[in-house]
Amino acid sequence: MPIDSACRIGSCQGVRLRLHRGRATALMAMMVALILPGPSLSQVKSSTPVKRPNVVIILFDDAALMDLGIYGGEASTPHIDAIGRRGTLFTRYATSPLCSPSRAMLLTGLTNHQAGVATIKEVLPKEHVGKPGYGLHLEANVATLPERLVKAGYHTFMSGKWHLGDGPGQLPGSHGFQRSFALDASGADNWDDKPYMPFYNEAPWFEDDKPTAYPSGQFSSTVIVDKVLGYLDKRPKDGQPFLAYVAFQAVHIPVQAPRAYTQKYAGRFDRGWEQLARDRFARAKALGLINPNARPPAMHPSMRRWDSLSPQEQKLQARAMEVYAGMIEATDAEIGRLVDRLRAEGELENTIFVITSDNGPEPSNPGAEPGFNQWMWTHGYNRRLDNLGERGSHNWIGPEWASAVATPGYLFKFYTSSGGLHVPMIMAGPGIAAGQKTNAPAFVQDVTPTLLDLVGEIPAIPGSKPISGRSQAQVLAGQTQSVYGPGDSVGIEVSGNAAITKGDYTLVKYNPPFGDNQWRLYHVTRDPGQTQDLSASLPAVRADLERAYAAYAKANGVLELPPGYKVQRQAALNSLKRQWQFYGGYVIGFLGLVFAGGWFLLRRMGKRRATQAKVNP
């Protein structure tokens, strides 16, 4: 009603009073708004839909704790270092001692036995074949990270090493990856479409779960990133986030890289493995990776001394490490290509990065195995100084270098020692504190629940096993120092190598040739090199951890190894069996031809003698 009309009917005073009160209320509200803080920009934004972050998981193969530049390594890794400075570095992250178990745990949040990947085919004894947890592929009731993220609208891609099964329903497409370029083997040549060891007669590459060929002549890290970039280019333009699992072959055997990278490290390792171990240990203390009072790990007594090698052998060994460092730098350059693409597309700041390794460094010396040099020759490999690491060469660093690069840990891949389990772990992106270094206990099965926490609420997958790892999201946000309490124990077992960690102590055992299957007790942080067995001085702690391991083994269905089991002998036996499967038919056919030819010749000779006997009675 207009004010004038209201006044005409005798209520003008009341209207004016209400107007004055309204103006006073509005003025008071304005003053309160100026005095009291309103919602922040972030609060305003939180009321509107926010795109979930992308996730990029970068997995190195057999890289040691200190192999990356930001962890004190010799290789130049500027792109990884830049990601690390934007996020959090873990200094007490532990994985499993072998590739397939680690990958299963990483992608599921379960223990390796729960996931169905207790060990790898190459070392599996016949007594364990087909037993629960020993199928060596992801079991039907196991949900993977990509399966969970697809439920939330993510596009999911992988490129690189899979090694989690190649039968029906075992390849990436059956486990949540919408696009994939996958190697289902423990390794392959980095230049050509061919195997790297006698266990395989080919390099089994698959694209979108169908057999495919590797593009010969191209370096593996380049090919792997090319595939990821192609999948990103071809993804639906619907604004949905993506998961990219980038599983490099670096620095698994065969250690190979372009000369442009390897030549940068000429002379860098000429002083040998003892000096490298001393240098890395000093840098580990300087960088705060270990306790300042820690003692350096000892090399196993079976290791050769550098000065016992001939000058020619020293040159070959030093060159092997130059290639090793070059392979890491070459892979970092490919990571840089991926980062540049995300930056150009405006996706970089909204991407969570995980950079880690599946286990510690590879100690194998295949050249010392009977028949391996002959196998190399038949598959077009050589091991010459002039082209080491390049196309047509086969290369490895061996146990002495592996022991040195595992510093400040003891031993290496295959073993549940500190050098086999403790590897780099970087996480960066939304929800993660920058420039942080944490000594919080963290384990490979924690990666999936951590990522699920960081990306937000994800629909459950009915019937799947519950995740056993713990989210490290609060540690990453700087809200807590650890998600594990002093009473929490975490175990691992792979082919008889076992460890159980509880609080600041770990109980470990590992099998020959570098172990003796005896349990030993170590302090995790004060003694990262596992130099002092505390069993005698802390019998109650040891007994408690023994009980914890027994409970872990029972809950996970861990099987005892058959009497007399030796990992090298089992690997050789399994390789021979596979070679017979590949070539046994040819051998039988050849022997059949030889037998038939011999029988034919003997029969002809018999007929000739009979004829001669008739002619000359």
Catalytic residue numbers?
A: 99, 163
**CA separation for the pair 377, 502 (Å, rounded):** 49
The answer to whether 423 touches 330, Cβ cutoff 8 Å, is no
> Which run of H or E residues covers position 588?
helix 567-615
Under DSSP, is residue 309 helix (H, G, I), strand (E, B) or coil?
A: coil
Cis, bond preceding 254 (omega within 30 deg of 0):
yes
Under DSSP, is residue 419 helix (H, G, I), strand (E, B) or coil?
A: helix
Cis, bond preceding 513 (omega within 30 deg of 0):
yes
The answer to whether 242 touches 157, Cβ cutoff 8 Å, is yes
Structure tokens at 448: 């999936």
Q: Is 564 left (phi over 0), alpha (psi -120 to 50) or beta?
A: left
Which residue type, as a one-letter code, is found at position 224?
I
Q: Kindly report the three-state secondary structure assignment for every residue of 188-249.
A: CCCCCCCCCCCCCCCCCEEECCEEECCCCCCCHHHHHHHHHHHHHHHCCCCCCCEEEEEECC
Angle between helices 273-286 and 398-405 (to 10 degrees): 10
Cα 532 to chain centroid, rounded: 29
Residues 6+ apart with CB under 8 A from 74: 265, 268, 269, 325
The answer to whether 66 touches 282, Cβ cutoff 8 Å, is no
Structure tokens at 135: 């199928």
**CA separation for the pair 209, 583 (Å, rounded):** 26
Under DSSP, is residue 470 helix (H, G, I), strand (E, B) or coil?
A: coil
Which residue type, as a one-letter code, is found at position 256?
Q
Residues 6+ apart with CB under 8 A from 11: none
State how beta strands 505-509 and 520-523 pair. Answer: antiparallel
Which residue type, as a one-letter code, is found at position 17?
L
The answer to whether 326 touches 258, Cβ cutoff 8 Å, is yes
Which residue type, as a one-letter code, is found at position 78?
P
Helices and strands: H and E segment counts in the chain? 18, 16
Pinpoint the alpha helices (H) of 492-566.
Answer: 539-556
State how beta strands 93-94 and 442-443 pair. Answer: parallel
Angle at Cα 511 formed by Cα 505 and Cα 517, nearest 5°?
Answer: 60
State how beta strands 436-438 and 155-161 pair. Answer: unpaired
| Residue 134 per-residue DSSP state | -
Residues 6+ apart with CB under 8 A from 440: 90, 92, 472, 475, 481, 482, 483, 484
State how beta strands 351-357 and 54-60 pair. Answer: parallel
State how beta strands 54-60 and 242-247 pair. Answer: parallel
Rg of the chain's alpha carbons, rounded to an integer? 31
